[in-house]
Structure formats: C-alpha cells, structure tokens
Amino acid sequence: MIPEDVRTEILQRLRNVEAEHGVRILLAVESGSRAWGFASPNSDYDVRFIYMRNPEWYQAVDLEERRDVIEYPIVDDIDLNGWDVRKALRLFWKSNPAFVEWIQSPVTYINESLFRGAALALLPEIYSPEKGIYHYRSMAKTNYRGYLRESVVRLKKYFYVLRPLLAARWIARTGSAAPIEFETLLTQLLEEPDVLSEVRQLLEQKRNAPELGLAPAVPTLNAFIEAELAGAPSNVPQRSRDPQVVDQLNDLFHRVLREHGAHVP
C-alpha cells in the first residue's frame, strides 16, 4: 500500500522529529485517503503521530500555554503532523473523530508503546455515538452542498460525502465507532446494488487516475446522498458517560510515562 522507498523516507523523518524536538513517538500512522482506501496515485501521504515528552514538561505552571502539536509543511507529498499524548487523550475523552480514526488506521509506521492497544481497549467505553453521527453527517452535508449540487461536479468529491454518510450509518446501526476502511463501510450497500455499482466504478477510476476531473453529476449517487441526509437516524444509540472514564485516561497517561522510564508518583 505504501511504496517501500516512501515508507523508509517517512520513518527517517519521524526519527528526525524525535531528535529535533526531544520527544518519543508512541504511534505513527497513515490518515486520509491512503488509509481509507481510495487514494489516487498522486495523493499525499498524511502521516499523523502521537508523541510524549519528558515528565518534567508536563509538571509546569504554564502547561496550558505550551505548544502541544508538531507540524511540518508538506514536502515531496509527505504531510507530517502530530499531537502530544496529553492533548490526544483529552481529545479522546471528547470522542474526537480524527483521533478515533488514527488509532484504527490500517497503515502503521511506528507502534512502540502500549498506547495504541490501551486506547483501542478503551474505545467502546469512551466513544459517543451521538457525537460521531453528528460529526460525519455534518461533514457529508457540507461537502455535498459545497461540491455536488451542480450539473457538472468534481467526481472525487463523492468520496468525501459517501464515506462520512456510510460511517454515520454504521454508527447508528451498531452503536460503535465506524471502521476507517471504505471497503468495510461499503458492505452496508450490498442491498443497494445500483448505488454500490456506481461507487465501485468511481472507486476504480480514482485508484488508477492521477485526478478525477469534472464530469456530469451521477444521478443515482445524488439521489442516495439526498435520501440519507433527509433521513436523520432514529434511535441513535445512547451511552451514558462513566464518571470514572477520566481516571482510566489518567491511568493510561501515567502508564505511558512510566513505560518510557518516567517516574510518576
């Protein structure tokens, strides 16, 4: 999925991040279209990582004012960005969709900590189906209105509407976080063969062409999208937040610090 020379370059850049910033990367994965499974040959490599600093960095009066992200400009189609582990866990507490996708990514560059496994184990308890559905439906609605309501459209934008719509459908049906792989989400269309056929044709084009250009809108897909957006899910799974969940996140934070030689009282 990731060419070996590109993977080698990405790993080298990640090790350079550690050296330059004095951090340790706990997890690094591919995000975006290459992780979702509908990348074009010239798609960027969206590398996302979670890192930790020495424990003294977190024991500071001005902690909230300290920068807790590491970002780099895109060079040679490699987009490299990361979050501090404390920031990541705070966002996890709020069911942040990006974090939830990162820990499920099928493309891993670095996984040298208990962090990912422990986060995945907590996911069913922490994840809010309501927040997930709201996020994905809002994303689909924004992209549909912005790109696909004209007679001639940019075909690749269909994927940025269909993926979130199918993710929202998955969450509504299962009450759990949606899988990141588009192929898995497409299993929900097995009983809608006309829609599935149109999606597969576009998917084949996108995977094999540098860029899907402008073309007439696809009526079957537009009708499906409009029906999904109009039919807000009923019986959205409700999950009461366990008041102890923040204690579990704190425990995970401390375990990660101890794992890498930090002393946490």
CB-based burial, 236-250: b 16+ in 10 Å, e otherwise: bbebeeeeeeeebbe
Give the C-alpha separation, 54 to 37, whole Å: 36
H/E stretch holding 253:
helix 245-259
pLDDT surpassing 90 at residue 74:
yes
Reported pTM: 0.93
Amino acid at 214: L
pLDDT surpassing 80 at residue 156:
yes
In which band, very low, low, confident or very high, does the pLDDT at 244 lie, cut at 50, 70 and 90? confident
pLDDT surpassing 90 at residue 110:
yes
Give the C-alpha separation, 257 to 171, whole Å: 33
Q: List the domain boundaries for the chain.
A: 4-124+241-259, 129-230
pLDDT surpassing 90 at residue 140:
yes
pLDDT surpassing 90 at residue 92:
yes
Amino acid at 113: S
**First CA to last CA across the chain, in angstroms?**
43
Specify whether the CB–CB gap between 209 and 41 falls below 8 A.
Answer: yes
pLDDT tens-digit readout, 166-207: 999 999 999 999 999 999 999 999 999 999 999 999 999 988
Specify whether the CB–CB gap between 44 and 171 falls below 8 A.
Answer: no
Provide the mean pLDDT of the chain: 93
Q: What is the dotted CATH code of the domain comprising 4-124+241-259?
A: 3.30.460
pLDDT surpassing 50 at residue 218:
yes
Amino acid at 250: N
Specify whether the CB–CB gap between 48 and 103 falls below 8 A.
Answer: no
Q: How many helices (H) and strands (E) does the chain have?
A: 12, 7
pLDDT surpassing 70 at residue 234:
no
Give the C-alpha separation, 112 to 104, whole Å: 16
